[in-house]
Amino acid sequence: MSFVYAFQSFKRFLRVCLLVVVLAACAQTAAGTPAATAIQTPIASPAAQATLTPAPLSSPTASTPVAILFAPDQVDVYQVAATQAALTDLAAASGLDLRIQKTLSTSDLDPAVKLVVALQVDPGLAELAKSAPGVQFLAIGIASLTAGSNLSLIGPDGFRPDQQAFIAGYIAAILTFDWRVGVLSPAETDGGKLIQDAFSNGVRFLCGLCRPAHPPYAAYPQVFAIASPVDSGWQTPADSLLQAAVTTAYVSPASSSPALLAYLFQAKVELIGGQAPTDDLRSQWIATVLPDPTSALRQVWPDLVAGKGGAQLPMPIVLADTSSGLLSTARLRLVNATLDDLVNGRIQPNPATAP
């Protein structure tokens, strides 16, 4: 019994020792392992706080620069449309917004305005240019202006109906058998005499005396004034033109009407005009002769955008609506060479005296 008792007492002693060792080890582990703590974000100093403040997503920017097209109601609608189309492309490529205005004064020249194009009517550009030296101004088809550091000119003599009539006369003469050509123009008080004389000069520039070799022996070119293109005001001049055996006619823009053009078309007259024909007239339509400042506008545009003024360019005249083929490629080259001399002042469409 004593042996068994002794053995059990020894086992209890071992368990006690083992328990003491385990407790001691746990206490040592607890003492040697640092306690977990929350991660604290240090508070920045005022200077550091200013540095860490996030920047705004975008900073304010200046207004988009602006180009203005001044085109009042009295300007020809074709010229407005063609110039606006060219300016729309040019302004977009240069990062400018385009405004179309029918009035223009110094109050319109806010700081965003960088360029002003005035078409055919002068809103007082000389004074506006003086009042806004940081704005570039371009006058198109406006006479009696002087180019300056911020004022450029296209067509400094204005639009030239005499040049249009001269080249129309030249085209008519180059195409027409026995020189049987004529012109319908406004009354003399509306500039019709200038158009008639310039047309006659263009015809005679090619054919001299322009005497037909076959009857009827009329004096060509034939010229007639139309008091009014509306109603039946054109009927008598048109009949007189046909009675003179005219087979090619120039109808100036101010004399034109749909009824007149249709009447001449039915009489088999081949036509030259100053405005685009309707589709039903195209088979007898030789060409449209019209001023077109857009090529000169594109030429001077880089300087205007760069803030450089003072340019002075002649008003270009172009031939359009030649799809009928009545004006052949070879003759078109000859006409364009003459047109270049005319526009650049090497040929003057001076009034011609009948021989």
Q: Can you spell out the DSSP letters for 198-260? A: HHHHHHHHHHTT---SSSS---SSEEEEES-SSTTTTHHHHHHHHHTT--EEEE-GGG--HHH
Q: Domain for residue 33, yes or no?
A: no
Of the pLDDT bands very low, low, confident and very high (cuts 50, 70, 90), residue 62 is low
Has residue 48 got a pLDDT over 70? Answer: no
Q: Domain for residue 47, yes or no?
A: no
Has residue 139 got a pLDDT over 50? Answer: yes
- Predicted pLDDT of residue 15: 56
Q: Domain for residue 175, yes or no?
A: yes
- Predicted pLDDT of residue 247: 97
Percent of the chain with pLDDT over 90: 72
- Predicted pLDDT of residue 27: 43
Percent of the chain with pLDDT over 70: 81
Q: Which of 8-17, 93-102, 239-248, 272-281 has the lowest mean pLDDT?
A: 8-17
Q: Domain for residue 3, yes or no?
A: no
Which residues lie below 8 Å from residue 158, measured CB to CB, with a gap of 6+?
Answer: 120, 141, 142, 143, 315
- Predicted pLDDT of residue 221: 96
Has residue 59 got a pLDDT over 70? Answer: no
Residue 77 and residue 110 share a domain: yes
Q: Domain for residue 60, yes or no?
A: no
The last residue of one of the domains, among 102, 130, 154, is: 154
- Predicted pLDDT of residue 254: 87
Helix axes 161-175, 192-207, angle to 10 degrees: 40
Looking at the 3D structure of the chain, how many domains does it have?
2
Q: Domain for residue 41, yes or no?
A: no
Q: Domain for residue 246, yes or no?
A: yes
Model confidence pLDDT, tens digit, residues 211-232: 999 988 889 999 999 987 777 7
Q: Rounded to an integer, what distance in angstroms lies between the CA atom of residue 142 and that of residue 122?
A: 6
Residue 172 and residue 147 share a domain: no
Residue 275 and residue 207 share a domain: yes
- Predicted pLDDT of residue 49: 38
Residue 270 and residue 176 share a domain: yes
Task: Tell me the residue range of the domain where 233 lies.
Answer: 161-291+316-343
Has residue 31 got a pLDDT over 80? Answer: no
Q: Rounded to an integer, what distance in angstroms lies between the CA atom of residue 349 and that of residue 221?
A: 15
Tell me what the pLDDT averaged over the chain comes to: 85
Model confidence pLDDT, tens digit, residues 288-310: 999 999 999 999 999 999 999 99
Of the pLDDT bands very low, low, confident and very high (cuts 50, 70, 90), residue 36 is very low
Residue 201 and residue 136 share a domain: no
Has residue 44 got a pLDDT over 90? Answer: no
Q: Which of 30-39, 119-128, 212-221, 346-355 has the lowest mean pLDDT?
A: 30-39
Residue 214 and residue 133 share a domain: no
- Predicted pLDDT of residue 355: 53
21's tokens: 């060792």
The last residue of one of the domains, among 106, 137, 154, is: 154
- Predicted pLDDT of residue 45: 37
The CATH number for 177's domain is 3.40.50.2300
Model confidence pLDDT, tens digit, residues 339-349: 999 999 999 99
Residue 321 and residue 215 share a domain: yes
Q: Domain for residue 28, yes or no?
A: no
